[in-house]
Amino acid sequence: MITFNKQESYIKVFSTTIFFSIIFLFMFLQNAVIYNSLQTSDDDDDDGGGLCACDQCVRDLNDDDWFFMRYSPTIPTMLNKKNSVLKKDVYRWWKGLQIDGSEHVYTDLVDTLFALFPDEEHYLDASLDRCRTCAVVGNSGNLLKSQYGELIDSHDLVIRINKGPTKGYEGDVGSKTTHRIIYPESAVDIDKSTHLIIVPFKILDLRWLISIFTTKHITRTYTNVKSTLNADMDRVMIVHPAFIKYVYDNWSQRHGRYPSTGFISLILALHICDEVKVFGFGARSDGNWHHYFDRTLAHFSRGSHGGDFENKTMNELQRRNKIFMYKGI
């Protein structure tokens, strides 16, 4: 009887081992299939094997845990009425950046905003067949004498930041602008073919956006601002507050008080573009930091943005082939 019980126990243990081994093998093979379907092929075949039609796709896996621990494909990039309700943690953080406004004011503003401006889901057309190339153009003095103009203009989207002009600098910075990303204090007139993207660091920024196209009564925030703006209302877009917080949490790793407009623009490009080239970020080769249109010296590590860490993150993105940075002279 004892021998029988031992044999029976051995059989149960063996059967259980086989059962769990089969389950483990099934899960392993299933995950391997999913992994291989996401991973970019190393072969130079015609379709590239990636998640877009470009040679190098931002969203390709490439066995890169560092990138995908930070990159969230489900985060909303642009605000619309449907996604305008803010999660408590987002609203609490966003409200902490400002001294004005309250929740009911924000809710009222949403109705006004999307009675004036497009209430759309933007850039949800990613596919295996799309290759959207984007140039993110910063304002660094390293653009001077770079002769990048023609290269910049060759991209599908050319995203410029704040006041960076093109007139008089076409050879170095190009002449094409499809998107200009601003906040009220950095606003400039743009032509009717350019998308105006506002980064709302405060509720007053949304009130200002409404004002410049309607009553034109807001002339000051913490400094004087333009009361009106030449721009096309049908091409206005608003960066979602949740996206700003996401950039701060995931990419800035909470360095500084909030991310810079340039850094937000770069991470935004990772979400709406398939291939991202970056121009006009960083110092000149002599170590000086200034705008190509303004010789006043500055330093990226000062201010509220955690610029040292932003710069390191951009260099890491380049090292991992998620962006390519042209560093000029």
Q: Which residues are annotated as a binding site?
A: 98, 139, 162, 222, 258, 262, 282, 291, 305
In terms of Cα–Cα distance, which of 201, 190, 191 is closest to 163?
A: 190
Three-state DSSP state, 246: helix
Q: Verify whether residue 148 is a known catalytic residue.
A: no
Q: Verify whether residue 35 is a known catalytic residue.
A: no
Three-state DSSP state, 178: coil
Q: Over the range 221-253, which residues count as b (16 or more CB within 10 Å of their CB) and which as e?
A: beeebbeebebeeebbbbbbbbbbbbbbebbbe
| Catalytic residue, candidates 258, 290, 292, 326 | 258
- Joined together, the tokens standing for residue 176 give 């094409």
**Taking each helix axis from N to C terminus, what angle separates 103-116 and 203-213, rounded to the nearest 10 degrees?**
30
Annotated binding-site residue numbers for substrate:
98, 139, 162, 222, 258, 262, 282, 291, 305
What gap in Å lies between CA 321 and CA 60, rounded to an integer?
10
Answer positive or negative: Cα dihedral of 135, 138, 140, 145. positive
Give the Cα-Cα-Cα angle 100, 103, 107 (nearest 5 degrees): 115
| Catalytic residue, candidates 195, 290, 305, 326 | 305
φ/ψ of 71, rounded to 5, equals -85, 125
Catalytic residues: 258, 305
